[in-house]
Structure 1
Amino acid sequence: MTSRRPLRIPGSWVRGAVGVIVLFVALELLTRAELVTPDYLPPASEIIRETVSLLGRSEFWSAFWATMQACLIGLGIATLVAVPVGLVLGLSTWAYKAAITIVELLRPIPSVALIPLAILVWGRGTEMKVALVVYACVWPILFNTIYGTHHVDSVGADTARVFGMGWVKTLGRVHLPAASPFIFTGIRIAASVALILAVSTEIVAGGANGLGIQLELARSFGDLKLSYAFTIVTGLIGLAMHLLFGAIERWRFAWTAQAATT
């Protein structure tokens, strides 16, 4: 007889919704009571109305797709680069010691600090945003892959060698499946980083289109409600990405949670 896990999602959704409602009510009261000037913070009800209106505009969806394109392409390239490199560094002590100095030298450099160089190399188009997203997303995926590979049970690898499996088969059947929960956690973290980097790059560097560019245009024209609307929508996109990757992680790697409770 299998035990069923209690369903906790509705409760968490209710608590989260209550928190959001309390926040917006507090902001509405602060503005209506003139404790905060509307010149800096319009009433929350007007911001919500502007946000709903924004979702029906074609320019928003054009900006949305431009930003998401850079996010998803950059995240995909970072995964294709970081996972194989992380597996090699995790399995080979010699390779890890040879590469760790370069990794630790590059990792602390903020991606935003590379914007002038990226503009010189790729211009202000999608390629520039993708390059910076790749740079920022590589690190969480790389270090989670290394960590996951380091913590693979040595008994499984030894058993595979006893049965005559080569290095490639051992990697595919033992190391990669065992490290996959850690790798996906790195990808989930990198997805949020990708959105932050894409929007930040658009705000700082400009370009043809994107959520950050539209947000900066609204700010420069003094349209506060539209600026806040773009900010809220960007936050909602980040929340949606977090929930999506979290749901995939729980579905694909449910066995890790079950193993932790046994």
Structure 2
Amino acid sequence: MRISESMLGRLGAAARTASWPGIVMALAVWEMAPRTGLVPSSFVPPASQVLVEFASMLVTGPFWADVQSTMLAWAVGLVLAMVAAVAAGILIGSNIYAYRATRFLIEFLRPIPAVALIPLAVLIFGITTDMKVFLVVFATFWPILFQAVYGVRETDSVARDTARSFGFTRAEVFWHVTLPSAAPSIATGVRLASALAIVIAVTAELIAGGPGLGTAILAAQSAGSSVRMYALIFAAGLLSYITGSIIVALERRLLRWHPSHRKAVV
């Protein structure tokens, strides 16, 4: 219970320190642009209409079913990518020969966009949650891997040598020196991958189909309901913001001992 209260406290602090003038200004521009004819209201409806539609969706079952489908792919894909990328990153970063042997393969695979693999994913998994999970894993694996490799390779060699001089074994050096040093970098990779995971999940639904926010957005667009379409897009953006805020709160709590987070913890 203490963790959940702390998490809510972090989110509340983030909300209080947010740039509310910028948010209000953006909403005001969004509201006035279609009403003054600056942009066609049929293409970009006013913010008030979108927010009212969003509020009405919050009490409907189909909306939450779509959210659940999208977030399931996000969560499962992100966890699988995190486990695989952290393990691979520690191995590659700890061994210069492994780093050199895998460098070309990583640089070759990393630029491939996950959406380009949608036909292959559909062929293998069909239009299922597994298809979305596969794409999320592929897209989010690389930022976590790079941050893990960077964090391990940037570990202070003096600290490692000092630990060895005190009789620490390789395993003890890893647990007490290497992993704590790399933890903030790994956390940064997870934070970046979190937002990317939602983008990939929604994009996969938009292109390939299947239940989720992406399919709901496409259905609203096909039906000519621009207000509902923008409300669903707003929901996807809000989900990304909420999940990102939760991950930041967890990162600050788990890494409160690190110098880079001490000032953020009261």
Instruction: Determine if the TM-score, normalized by the shorter chain, exceeds 0.5.
Output: yes
Once the two structures are TM-superposed, the CA of residue 9 in structure 1 deviates from its matched residue by 4.5
Q: 1:219 and 2:209 equivalent?
A: no
Counterpart CA distance in 2 for 1:164 and 1:45 is 66
Unmatched segments (≥5 aa) in structure 1? 1-7
1:241 and 2:246 matched:
no
Superposition deviation, residue 105 in structure 1: 0.6
Secondary structure at the aligned position of 2:44 is classed as coil
1:214 maps to a residue whose letter is A
Q: CA deviation at 1:12?
A: 2.9
Task: Choose the corresponding residue for 2:209, options 194, 206, 210.
Answer: 206
How far apart are 1:169 and its partner, in Å? 2.4
* 8 A contact 2:255–2:261 mirrored in 1: no
> Which residue of structure 2 lines up, in the alignment, with residue 250 of structure 1?
252
Aligned to 2:3: none
CA drift of 1:26 comes to 1.8
What pairs up with 1:163-202 in 2 under 5 angstroms?
163-202=166-205
Match of residue 69 from structure 2: 66
Contact residue 252 and residue 261 of structure 2 kept, 8 A: no
Q: Does structure 1 residue 101 correspond to structure 2 residue 88?
A: no
Q: How many aligned residue pairs are there? A: 252
Aligned-residue offset at 1:88:
1.1
Q: What is the alpha-carbon distance in structure 1 between the residues aligned to residue 15 and residue 193 of structure 2?
A: 27
Q: Match of 1:145?
A: 148
Partner Cα separation in structure 2 for residue 93 and residue 259 of structure 1: 32
Q: 1:215 deviation in Å?
A: 0.7
CA shift, 1:29, in A, is 1.8
Q: Percent identity?
A: 38
Distance 1:241 1:258, change over 3 A: closer
The one-letter amino acid of 1:232's match is F
User: Following TM superposition, by how much is the alpha carbon of 1:160 offset from its aligned partner in structure 2, in angstroms?
Assistant: 2.7
Tell me what 2:230 maps to: 228
- Gap change, CA 1:107 and 1:210, over 3 Å in 2: same
Deviations 1:34-71 (A, max 9, x none): 23222112222111110111111111100101111100
The one-letter amino acid paired with 2:108 is: L
Q: Secondary structure at the match of 1:222?
A: coil
Match of 2:8 in 1: none
- How many angstroms apart in 1 are the aligned matches of 2:86 and 2:139? 14
CA distance in 2, matches of 1:159, 1:23: 53
State the alpha-carbon separation in 2 of the partners of residues 49 and 236 from structure 1.
15
Change (3 A) 1:41 1:152: same
1:251 deviation in Å?
2.4
| In 2: Cα distance, 1:72 partner to 1:28 partner | 34
- CA gap of 1:114–1:175, structure 2 versus 1, over 3 A, is same
Structure 2: distance between partners of 1:246 and 1:27: 29
The alpha-carbon deviation at position 168 of structure 1 amounts to 2.2
One-letter code of the match for 1:173?
H
Report the residue type matching 1:130 in the other structure: V
Counterpart code for 2:149: I
User: What do the CA deviations read for 1:213-257 (whole angstroms, capped 9, x no partner)?
Assistant: 111111111111100000001111111112111122222223322
1:118 aligns with 2:126: no
- Which secondary structure state, in structure 2, belongs to the residue aligned with residue 108 of structure 1? coil
